Amino acid sequence: MGMVAENIEAIRARMRGAAERVGRDPDSVRLVAVSKRQSLEVIREAMACGQTVFGENYLQEAEEKVAALGQGLAWHCIGHLQSNKARIAAEIFDCIETIDRLKLAKALEIRLAELGKTMPVLVQINVGGEAQKAGVTPEEAGQLCRELQQFPHLRLQGLMTMPPFFEDPEESRGYFRRLRLLGDELAAQGLLGRHGMVQLSMGMSGDFEVAIEEGATLVRVGTALFGER
Ligand SMILES: *Cc1c(COP(=O)(O)O)cnc(C)c1O
């Protein structure tokens, strides 16, 4: 068995274990394989293991990979997106996890309408309030979610976050919990959950099990799956 196959099997087992520890259905959590700066070869290895959802940060790189690897896969945008790149993003992605401002949403809506395509989206939350990170504050989230309701081609499905980095994953737990509570609050206001289960994208290589214990429905794992970039 190749390295990617071994890693993916181990990650799936750890994901299942984390869900079961807190009495969650393991099938309610999906693995987003973060393939940024990884070769087509290793991505194909993951595909051979049945992996279909991939996360990319950089538009040009994503465009090349989507063109090379074709259909049947779901590509999630997990990086910062410029409004003037909305046309390409609307074409190549299957989900945009990083909606953080109205201007970007407007630009995407225009392009999606032209394509006749609807796009599942998540609002990116800066749970740690870090100056260098994208995302709206938890306090601003309600307003952006409300504004997104006016765009018929955007399907607001939930929230995404990247908390501050800690060596000890237990230190991330409070931030993940905060995202889940925010999701509950926005769902209670009727702003989330109109398009099925509320999605929470949180947890990476170092802390995805804690994120699942706190309610993640999408975990974004790169290094633990593909190795160092
Ligand atoms: C790179 C990246 C990941 C994956 O990080 P790993 O630590 O390699 O698992 C997840 N989410 C986002 C937003 C990223 O940019």
Which domains does the chain possess? 3-226 (3.20.20.10)
> Best substitution site from 96, 160, 179, 204 to test ligand 1's pocket, by max atoms within 8 Å of Cβ?
204
- What does residue 67 show for φ and ψ, rounded to 5 degrees? -65, -40
Query: Residue 8 corresponds to which amino acid?
Result: I
The pLDDT score that the predictor gives to residue 70 is 77
Asked if 219 and 181 touch (Cβ cutoff 8 Å), the reply is: no
Give, for all 229 residues of the chain, the pLDDT tens digit.
789 999 999 999 999 999 999 999 999 999 999 999 999 999 999 999 999 999 999 999 999 999 999 789 999 999 999 999 999 999 999 999 999 999 999 999 999 999 999 999 999 999 999 999 999 999 999 999 999 999 999 999 999 999 999 999 999 999 999 999 999 999 999 999 888 899 999 999 999 999 999 999 999 999 999 999 8
Query: How do beta strands 119-125 and 154-161 pair?
Result: parallel
Q: What's the gap in Å between 221 CA and the centre of ligand 1? A: 6
Q: What's the gap in Å between 114 CA and the centre of ligand 1? A: 31
Contact 223 CB / ligand 1 (< 6 Å):
yes
Contact 83 CB / ligand 1 (< 6 Å):
no
Contact 162 CB / ligand 1 (< 6 Å):
yes
Cα 161 from Cα 157, distance rounded (Å): 14
Count of C-beta atoms within a 10 Å radius of residue 164 = 13
**Nearest atom, ligand 1, residue 204 CA:** 9
The pLDDT score that the predictor gives to residue 97 is 98
**Nearest atom, ligand 1, residue 36 CA:** 1
The pLDDT score that the predictor gives to residue 177 is 98
Strand partners, 160: 124, 201
Ligand 1, atom 4: nearest CA belongs to which residue?
222
Cα 213 from Cα 82, distance rounded (Å): 33
Asked if 185 and 168 touch (Cβ cutoff 8 Å), the reply is: no
Contact 33 CB / ligand 1 (< 6 Å):
no
What is the token pair recorded at 137?
Answer: 């504050």
The pLDDT score that the predictor gives to residue 71 is 80
